[in-house]
């Protein structure tokens, strides 16, 4: 097991990944990121891939699907899978589906990144994830995120020791997904534990298609502007995309569960929806490399988050 603190002598990338793969071969595999909500899984995935691939926000239930991003490098090819955060606070059909997706991803993976937050362990979230991780017979890397927020490095050592005793982790790596601290070390650790062979992307998670990405980018901007409860009751669906004269015209609907939620989402004088849409448009233009005309509206679909049938209808039309 490798346990390395940032800045400590001897904890270099070469020490962690002294052997990657023999010449002419490469290590390949699916790597699932799992943890309770808001530990930084999506932020880490985006940093590893070098672009926004999975939306991130300070709200629970941000990631609702298993999202896949592929990265290739010298001697390796990885398929990172960002899974929905596991928690016990919310119930309903949406949460049941998210849990199923996360568990399915774990059973079809060659390595697991179990992410926790530095100096914070929760019985209802982290312990729940650890219980699932113990049932999977693949290398598990404990990723302790947000170490940049820990002022005293000495406080981190007892925490790492306590967590290391809970499971036979293949590696224990402190990182900051926000700043990129030791993320390169983490990736070399991952590669070290993958088999030599070819990468298989089926079944399970997949990259977002264009319509799904549009919906996620708009939902991300709404989540940043809304309170803790409403985001769980909010969904975005891309109704139409068409291109005319180098302009991408997008129509997207936002589903909530009551008239009160609709008023909150629109905001006073429509300002909240306007601000979210404006920022989402800028992000989309940067992502798609062309001008975007974004039209949005909010509609009430009662109890959509607690109905398997409504969930399917909203996703597939």
Q: From CA 74, how far away is CA 227, in angstroms rounded?
A: 44
Q: Tell me which residue range forms the domain holding 91.
A: 2-192
User: For the chain, what is the radius of gyration of the CA atoms?
Assistant: 20
Residues 248-306: pLDDT tens digits?
Answer: 999 999 988 889 889 999 999 999 999 999 999 999 998 899 999 999 999 998 876 66
Q: Sort strands 76-82 and 2-3 into parallel, antiparallel or unpaired.
A: unpaired
Whether 117 and 183 share a structural domain: yes
Q: Is 108 part of any domain?
A: yes
Compute φ and ψ for 155, nearest 5 degrees. -70, -25
Lowest pLDDT segment from 49-53, 80-84, 170-174: 49-53
H and E: helices and strands count for the chain = 10, 10
Whether 187 and 217 share a structural domain: no
Q: Is the dihedral of CA 281, 282, 287, 289 positive or negative?
A: positive
Q: Is 48 part of any domain?
A: yes
Q: How much is the pTM?
A: 0.65
Whether 183 and 215 share a structural domain: no
Q: Is 255 part of any domain?
A: yes
Cis peptide bond prior to 203, omega within 30° of 0: yes
> Which one, of 201, 222, 32, lies nearest residue 114 by Cα?
32
Whether 133 and 37 share a structural domain: yes
- Number of domains into which the chain is organized: 2
């Amino acid at each position: 097991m490798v346990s390395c603190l940032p800045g400590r002598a001897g904890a270099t990338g070469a020490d962690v990944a002294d052997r990657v793969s023999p010449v002419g071969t490469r290590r390949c595999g699916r790597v699932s990121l799992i943890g309770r909500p808001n530990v930084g899984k999506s932020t880490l995935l985006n940093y590893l891939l070098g672009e926004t691939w999975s939306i991130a926000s300070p709200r629970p239930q941000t990631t609702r699907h298993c999202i896949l991003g592929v990265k290739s490098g010298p001697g390796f090819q990885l398929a990172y899978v960002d899974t929905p955060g596991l928690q016990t606070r919310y119930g309903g059909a949406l949460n049941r589906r998210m849990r199923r997706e996360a568990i399915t991803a774990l059973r079809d993976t060659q390595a697991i990144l179990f992410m926790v937050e530095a100096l914070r362990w929760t019985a209802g979230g982290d312990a729940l994830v650890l219980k699932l991780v113990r049932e999977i017979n693949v290398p598990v890397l404990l990723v302790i995120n947000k170490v940049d927020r820990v002022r005293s490095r000495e406080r981190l050592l007892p925490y790492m020791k306590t967590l290391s005793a809970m499971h036979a982790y293949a590696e224990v790596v402190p990182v900051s997904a926000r700043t990129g601290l030791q993320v390169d070390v983490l990736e070399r650790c991952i590669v070290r534990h993958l088999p030599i062979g070819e990468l298989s992307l089926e079944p399970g998670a997949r990259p977002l298609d264009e319509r799904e990405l549009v919906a996620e980018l708009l939902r991300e901007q709404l989540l940043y502007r809304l309170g803790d409860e409403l985001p769980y009751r909010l969904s975005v669906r891309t109704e139409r995309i068409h291109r005319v004269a180098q302009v991408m015209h997008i129509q997207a609907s936002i589903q909530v569960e009551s008239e009160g939620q609709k008023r909150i989402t629109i905001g006073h004088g429509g300002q909240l929806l306007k601000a979210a849409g404006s920022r989402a448009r800028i992000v989309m233009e940067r992502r798609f490399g062309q001008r975007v005309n974004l039209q949005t509206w909010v509609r009430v679909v009662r109890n959509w988050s607690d109905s398997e049938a409504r969930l399917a209808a909203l996703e597939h039309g």
